[in-house]
Amino acid sequence: MNERPNLNQAGFGNLAPAPKGLLARGDTSGRIRVVGRSVSVFYGEKQALIDVNIDILDKSVTAFIGPSGCGKSTFLRCLNRMNDFIDAARVTGSVEIDGVNIYDPEIDPVQLRARVGMVFQKPNPFPKSIYDNVAYGPRIHGLARTKSDMDEIVITSLEKAGLYKEVKDRILEAGTGLSGGQQQRLCIARAIAVNPEVILMDEPCSALDPIATARIEELIDELRQNFCIVIVTHSMQQAARVSQRTAFFHLGTLVEEGETSEIFTNPRQSRTQDYITGRFG
Amino acid sequence: MPTEHIVSAFEDELKALDTKIAQMGGLAEQLLGRAIDSLENRDPGLAEATIRQDEQIDRLEREVEELAISMIARRQPMAVDLRQIMTAVRVAGDLERVGDLGKNIAKRAMAIAAENRPKNLMIGIRHIGNKSLEQLTDVLNAYSQRDSEKALQVWRRDEELDAIYNSVFRELLTYMMEDPRNIGLCTHLLFGAKNLERIGDHATNIAEMIHFLVKGTPVTERRPKGDTTSFVMPESSTA
């Protein structure tokens, strides 16, 4: 403390460009997987999303944060064309995944959603067995030729979702009989069973207790090795814990996007600062 | 800070943290002023009172730490709030050291209270004391005003303090070489001067933290350093 000040040794200055691994583990130098350009969404007359431009990196977690109604879930839903289900919704601009515009008329939304999986806020397993929940996607997409292929996919997916050990003795029992946290991991197993490239998560932990939340967060960190993950969360601490990059949305616009460590220690925009510090007036 | 927190208790705690730092700063300034006076005026009574004052600074440092830890645990501060809390802890640590160094000067003042002091020697001590006190005052003002430019001015001025220390160092060395009976007195004065120079370093530490607090980035400039006494040998000082 009483040494002559030397910034490099003080360690304090390091907080600004936070050392990798302080707020979120791993490098963020993956290639760009998803590219959004001038994306706008209209619900009837009302414009819910205004001219969003963003590059989303592969093998990393990108968190979308912002107050309710800011457009973050709307944008998330653009990434696998879930807005198609809403009649009044109109999307303009382009979303490219691996260089292909997913709004191209040639693209089959069902095939797209196999490549871009989704996990919702409330765990929503099918009223079927644990096995069938996971096997459903591979079955309709014809990913398994034989029963043993399918067994393999189901077990691997459950293992990847960190659920296999807990359910292996009751794999034919109903998925709805599991606890909330287990159900959510089952939904994640179901999403990864079709071998997607991108996984979207819309507040995946908001219905879970802290322990189940921690398990999901640990799982997200493991899945990041192989997938491009986008998570919408209302918990800023969760965004800070699990993501490598963070995007802040407000009133339908993307205000700021950058490295998570930077966003939470030294955001560039005052609106971001006001929101993450709880000063939104 | 632009707007207030939605949670007013959080806002109150951040203000309380600043108030404690302001109190610590005020006490440290007062303690240092008294320590220098007691050294210059051979006032053991004042020196004793000064030594006791350090306890208050230590107590405030503990309070700052406790409040900061509790805020981090309960409120998960982000961005500028996180920086403010980290800065407060670091500044409190520096001010606590300033208090210790000031106390040490007061102790030396008591030790040499009975000795005769050459007048021009004391001019040098007073000079470095004033400069050190000025640096501390200015950096504390910069902190309370969140003025990173003012903080950087203090930071750059540390070189001047180093220069004064160099000349006091050489002067004391000369006295010691002239008459070995001066060694006891001069050693105490030398340590006193060194403490004052060190207090300047704590002021630059605080200045760097103010910059970090306001800008969110560390100071990238290289600070000019003027303390060359580590390389001085007695032979060369008489030349």
pTM: 0.81
* CATH entry, A30-276, from 3.20.20.330, 3.10.20.740, 3.40.50.300, 3.40.50.2300: 3.40.50.300
Scanning every residue of chain A, which has its alpha carbon at the shortest distance from the alpha carbon of B220? A7
Chain A residues whose CB is inside 8 A of the B201 CB are 2-5
Q: Which residue of B has its CA nearest to A273?
A: B79
* Alpha-helix runs per DSSP H in chain B: 8-41, 44-75, 79-111, 119-145, 148-178, 183-215, 234-238
Summarize pLDDT for B74-113 with one digit per residue, the tens. Answer: 999 999 999 999 999 999 999 999 999 999 999 999 999 8
Look up residue A271 and give its two tokens.
């609106």
User: What is the ipTM score, two decimals?
Assistant: 0.74
HEC string of A33-102 equals EEEEEEEEEEECCEEEEEEEEEEEECCCEEEEECCCCCCHHHHHHHCCCHHHHCCCEEEEEEEEECCEEC
In chain A, residues with a C-beta closer than 8 Å to the C-beta of B78 are 236, 240, 264-265, 276-277
Q: With 80 as the cut, is the pLDDT of residue B14 above it?
A: yes
Cβ distance B217 to A266 less than 8 Å, yes or no, reads yes
How do the domains of chain A map onto residue ranges? 30-276
The pLDDT tens digits along chain A (281 residues) read 344 434 333 333 333 343 343 434 444 457 999 999 999 999 999 999 999 999 999 999 999 999 999 999 999 999 999 988 888 899 999 999 999 999 999 999 999 999 999 999 999 999 999 999 999 999 999 999 999 999 999 999 999 898 999 999 999 999 999 999 999 999 999 999 999 999 999 999 988 889 989 989 999 999 999 999 999 999 999 999 999 999 999 999 999 999 999 999 999 999 999 999 998 75
Q: Which residue among B78, B93, B202 places its CB closest to the CB of A277? A: B78
Name the residue of chain B whose CA is nearest to A272's CA: B79
Residue-wise pLDDT tens digits, B199-211: 999 999 999 999 9
Which residue type, as a one-letter code, is found at position B48?
E
